[in-house]
Amino acid sequence: MTTPVELTVGGATRSTSSLRLVATLGIAGLCSGFLLSASYQVTKPIIDANKAEQLRQSVFEVVPGSSAVQRLVYRDGSLTPIGEMEKTALPVLFAAYDDAGAFRGYGIMHQGAGFADQIVLIYGFEPESRRIVGMRVLSSKETPGLGDKIYKSDAFVSNFEDLAAEPSIVVVKDGRDAVNEVDAITGATISSKSVVKIINESVAFWKDKLPAPGSEPPAPRPGEGGQP
Amino acid sequence: MSATTPERVYAELTKGIWRENPIFVQVLGMCPTLAVTNSVMNAIAMGVATFFVLVGSSLLVSLLRRLIPREVRISTYIIIIATFVTLADSALEALVPAVHKELGAFIALIVVNCLILGRQEAFASRNPPLLALADAIGMGLGFCIALLCLGGTREILGAGSFLGVSLFGPNFEPWVIMVLPPGGFLMLGAVLLLFAVLRQRKRRPKEVGA
């Protein structure tokens, strides 16, 4: 372990042909490439299924009483069902239904700038009363101990369990006293405001795109509902 | 280097755990040490991932040590290490997505953990597979134990919990600084100080006796 490293500069002792050097690295890279693509093939479907399952669970969490979910895409002025894994560049949201197949609300994902990096969140929207009924942060890099209270603090998250979305949601610092107010986290005002701003933007975006309350797409038939 | 005797294997296995502990004594691999030890779960996941990469690449480097030309040895080690890291990365993402999300980029950064490259250069490339394996297991365990020490104390002080289980009840005011980056430096400094004192204590009686 203590023998000094001998570097053979200029081929003083024993020089290796460049062909051998290139071959060594080439073979190592090739083997590594094969191994990695094999492991990618194995893990990719599991990772995708995990993500879809997580997303489905989060829709159930933000829309109380829901037990089935259907992914919808906004195309040519109306919402049409789309497969859970299907890729699309068009705006998508989730419709949530209860056991009896009655529509309970939308689960809408949106992202925007937080205090550190992007915050991706999903919120439950009840179109008839135009209220937010729940919110979960899906990914964020907010400061541990302060900004991460946007998902760790029950007090903050419960602000979003019954919140009027119109005219717009506002952040207050001295306690909620109106239906459209959110009480900011002490020491993490920017993170709190970011969450509210993301939801406000998303509500404004979907405002004229959602169908009239009562004419939402019907629940998927049993057996295909909520399955990818 | 001497032959592979059971005593030698045992010595290589145990040296990493205490006498040459990669964090407390060699002070290697500081980036993951400081960055991900803010909770016990993160420390465990990082420790296990590093252990896997270290053991896998040490064994492979030792097996291939006569085939790898000196001039490209570092590049070859990096390819081997990076392959193991990417395997660990996708395995964690598939098996424990929550932990993977929390550790984020630090899993990929195991590639440049100098502890791993250091063991390849200093040990695995000069020793037979059995010794290299013993050395890697010892060093990997030492790294895990050190991460757990730091992660445990930081979570207890900074969040009042251990593995997410609250210890002190709702009235405990957590020392938020302990889970923030400065807390990592404070804790590491305190632990290194403790180790320096322990080593001095151990040395002194011998000097007196002589």
Mean pLDDT, residues B185-208: 82
Mean pLDDT, residues A91-110: 90
Pick from A32, A40, A51: which is nearest to B83 by CB? A32
> Residue B205 — pLDDT band, cuts 50, 70, 90?
low
More confident residue, B130 or A148: B130
Instruction: Say whether B79 and A32 touch across the interface (CB within 8 A).
Output: yes
**The pLDDT of residue A226:** 45
More confident residue, B152 or B174: B152
Chain B stretch 35-54, residues whose beta carbon is closer than 8 A to a beta carbon of chain A = 38
Angstrom distance (rounded) from CA A42 to CA A80: 32
Interface of A with B (CB under 8 A): 1, 3, 5-8, 16, 20-21, 24-25, 28-29, 31-32, 35-36, 39-40, 42-43, 46-47, 50-51, 54, 139, 141, 143-146
Chain A: nearest CA to B149, how far in angstroms? 20
- Sequence-ordered list of residues with C-beta below 8 angstroms from that of A47, at least 6 positions apart, any chain: B90, B93, B94, B97
Which residues sit opposite A137 in a β-bridge? A121
Chain A: nearest CA to B179, how far in angstroms? 7
**The pLDDT of residue B60:** 94
Instruction: Say whether A32 and B82 touch across the interface (CB within 8 A).
Output: yes
Residue ranges covered by each domain of chain B: 6-147
Q: Which of A94, A89, A69 is nearest to A79 (CA)?
A: A94
Instruction: Say whether B75 and A25 touch across the interface (CB within 8 A).
Output: yes
Q: ∠A182-A163-A97 over CA atoms, to 5°?
A: 140
**The pLDDT of residue A222:** 57
pLDDT tens digit string along A8-35? 444 445 677 889 899 999 999 999 999 9
> Residue B206 — pLDDT band, cuts 50, 70, 90?
low
- Sequence-ordered list of residues with C-beta below 8 angstroms from that of A162, at least 6 positions apart, any chain: A131, A132, A133, A179
More confident residue, A207 or B82: B82
> Residue B208 — pLDDT band, cuts 50, 70, 90?
low
Label the pairing between strands A131-139 and A118-126: antiparallel
Contacts of A32 in chain B (CB under 8 A): 79-80, 82-83
Most trustworthy range by pLDDT among B85-99, B124-138, B166-180: B124-138
**The pLDDT of residue A2:** 47
Whether A82 and A92 have beta carbons less than 8 Å apart is answered as yes
Angstrom distance (rounded) from CA B85 to CA B108: 6
In the block, which residue shows the tokens 């599991």? Answer: A46
Whether B45 and B103 have beta carbons less than 8 Å apart is answered as yes
Say which DSSP state A86 is in. -
Instruction: Say whether A24 and B126 touch across the interface (CB within 8 A).
Output: no
Mean pLDDT, residues B109-114: 88
Mean pLDDT, residues A108-129: 91
> Residue A227 — pLDDT band, cuts 50, 70, 90?
very low
Contacts of A47 in chain B (CB under 8 A): 90, 93-94, 97
B63 CB near a chain A CB, below 8 Å? Answer: no
Instruction: Say whether A144 and B38 touch across the interface (CB within 8 A).
Output: yes
Angstrom distance (rounded) from CA B110 to CA B88: 10
Instruction: Say whether B90 and A144 touch across the interface (CB within 8 A).
Output: no
Distance between alpha carbon A48 and the CA centroid of its chain, in Å? 13
Establish, for the pair of chains A and B, how many residue pairs have beta carbons separated by less than 8 Å: 72
Contacts 24+ apart (CB under 8 A), A12-16: A16/B69, A16/B70, A16/B71
Q: Could you give the ipTM of this predicted complex? A: 0.74
SS3 content of chain A, % helix, strand, coil (to 5): 35, 25, 40
